[in-house]
Amino acid sequence: MKPIYLDHAASTPVHPEVAEVMMKVMTEQFGNASSVHTFGRSAKKTVNGARDVIAASLGCFSDEWVFTGGGTESDNLALFGAAHSRKGGHIITTAIEHHAVLHACRELEKEGYSLTYLPVDGTGRVVLEYLEAALREDTFLISVMLANNEVGTVQPIEEIGRLARERGILFHVDAVQALGSVPITLSALPVDYMSFSAHKINGPQGIGGLYVRRGAPLHPRMHGGLQEKGRRAGTENLAGAAGFAKAVELAVKGQTGRHEESLLLRDRLLRGLDQGIGRDAYHINGNPEYGLPHITNISFPGVRTDVLLMNLDMEGIAASSGSACTSGSLEISHVLKAMKLRDEYLNSAIRFSTGLGNTTEEMELVSRKIETIVNRLRIKD
Ligand SMILES: Cc1ncc(COP(=O)(O)O)c(C=O)c1O
């Protein structure tokens, strides 16, 4: 049986058109974009061409886009970049952010900044009243993700952004998981910084981007050359930038179609589970109204996450326990904990995330395999 990959929220296969563009750059261009000769100018044209395509796709100015080494770097650049532009103060984030934000915030706390980690409701959504209550005189930055990588819950970032703007507070949004699923027009959003990553949208690993609204402060993290207008030193990743631009273009253009496909795939999986183990035998974690269509986080009470994952893997099915960083360990997800799920849901949650190449037939097969495994494991207990 061909292996079935249901871990697209961790990383995605590179789209053939992206690979084609990258191959062309890798084999035909090797200049350094900072060099003044023809080779350098050609490289610069490639990087800036990629920047223009991304800016046009996301509705921002080209000079508002900074290429980085991935989503983690983008998050760090935004948070430290905003914080180090001033001295001290209060930052608000949420308990369900990716570790790229949470661990950066812990570091800022060590540096003397004051942090509030907002709780979420049972579906993983930020409650606006809590946010308002947390605001302080010295609050200068809010960081809330657009969509959660473990349960797919989409946050009310427009409302949060408006609150921030009214008070002159900077607003960072981690959109790494949302790009390609949630429409994004940066010029219309009350957002100052937004993080992106190519490998979540069928682009290459190791390249990302940060939107920095014109006028928003940004103290650089990397010191060296004056690349990216002094905001991110280091020779540009030519092939990565070109591939990322193609991936963004495809993701934005194909958004509606992919949304429908993702819903269909989810529907097949859930219908299969209903017919097999029955609706009472599983629980969906996340928000039924505000959620990414390609991420479905399901708990199977009575079956341990790691055991189910291992059994699925033996059947050639790749799923995950949540964020890639924690999936290697048995640690319970900080996101599910923040949602205050019952213990039996916490210990048995699996994230299925679909994408390029998945079929409805695969989803039917997966539901049947889950039925066999769950029935076997439950009897054993
Ligand atoms: C919401 C979110 N933010 C940030 C990251 C980190 O991105 P990268 O893997 O490109 O460093 C991820 C990756 O899982 C993510 O899901």
How remote is the CA of residue 355 from the centroid of ligand 1, in Å? 16
How long a stretch of residues is the chain? 381
Residues 235 and 357 in one domain: no
Residue nearest to atom 8 of ligand 1 (CA): 71
How remote is the CA of residue 7 from the centroid of ligand 1, in Å? 13
Residue 329 has pLDDT above 60, yes or no: no
How remote is the CA of residue 362 from the centroid of ligand 1, in Å? 26
Which residues make Cβ contacts (< 8 Å) with residue 189, sequence separation at least 6? 157, 158, 161, 173
- Report d(CA 328, CA 320) in Å as an integer: 9
The beta-strand segments (E) located in 273-326 are 283-285, 295-299, 317-318
Residues 353 and 260 in one domain: yes
Number of independent structural domains in the chain:
2
The beta-strand segments (E) located in 95-138 are 114-118
53 alpha-carbon distance from chain centroid: 21
Residues 350 and 227 in one domain: no
- Report d(CA 7, CA 317) in Å as an integer: 9
Residues 307 and 239 in one domain: no
SS3 142: strand
The set of catalytic residues is 325
Of the candidates 250, 353, 288, 368, the residue with the CA atom closest to the CA atom of residue 11: 353
354: domain CATH number is: 3.90.1150.10
Residues 192 and 110 in one domain: yes
pLDDT digits (tens, 9 = 90+) for 19-65: 999 999 999 999 999 999 999 999 999 999 999 999 999 999 999 99
Q: Using 50, 70 and 90 to split pLDDT, how confident is the model at 326?
A: very low
Probe residue for ligand 1, chosen from 8, 14, 67, 72 as the CB with the greatest number of ligand atoms within 8 Å: 72
Q: What is the pLDDT of residue 330?
A: 63
Structural domain boundaries, residue 68? 16-253
